[in-house]
Amino acid sequence: MRIGELADLAGTTTRALRHYEALGLLTAGRDAKGHRTYGADDVRLLRQIRALQEFGFGLEETRPFVECLRAGNPTGDTCPASLAAYRHKLAELNALIGDLTAVRDIVQQRLAAAEAEVERPAHAPELTPPGERRPCHRARGHR
């Protein structure tokens, strides 16, 4: 199949396919006229790349999965390098979740403090204990 057909089947653009080819993630054959040609395996490979990108994998991080597929495995997930890539991504995600949880807790505390400040009256009246007199203050110039 030609590059446009592959792009349509894989849900991407011809520009992206050329980029993948430049990175060595995709290999095109050539027909007699020099046009790029691709096979069904390339559709699987691109679907794997696209799925991983949706999970937050960068293009370079998809390389172990691509190599696993190229080695003839039915999926790109089952090779040792792919498993290591999954473990690494999971560790990154867990760290991000920890960071976001810490930030959320700080924002939550700051919101609670700000709400408490808003709810407290600006000039709360001073309370005089029973039996004590409050001093009387006169404004200047008045007697």
pLDDT tens sequence across 62-118: 999 999 999 999 999 999 999 999 999 999 999 999 999 999 999 999 999 999 988
pLDDT number for residue 90: 96
Strand partners, 37: 29
For residue 72, the SS3 value is coil
pLDDT number for residue 133: 63
Ranges of beta strands (E only) in 17-127 are 29-30, 36-37
CATH 3.40.50.300 given to domain 3-117: no
Burial of 19 (0-12, 13-18, 19+ CB in 10 A): middle
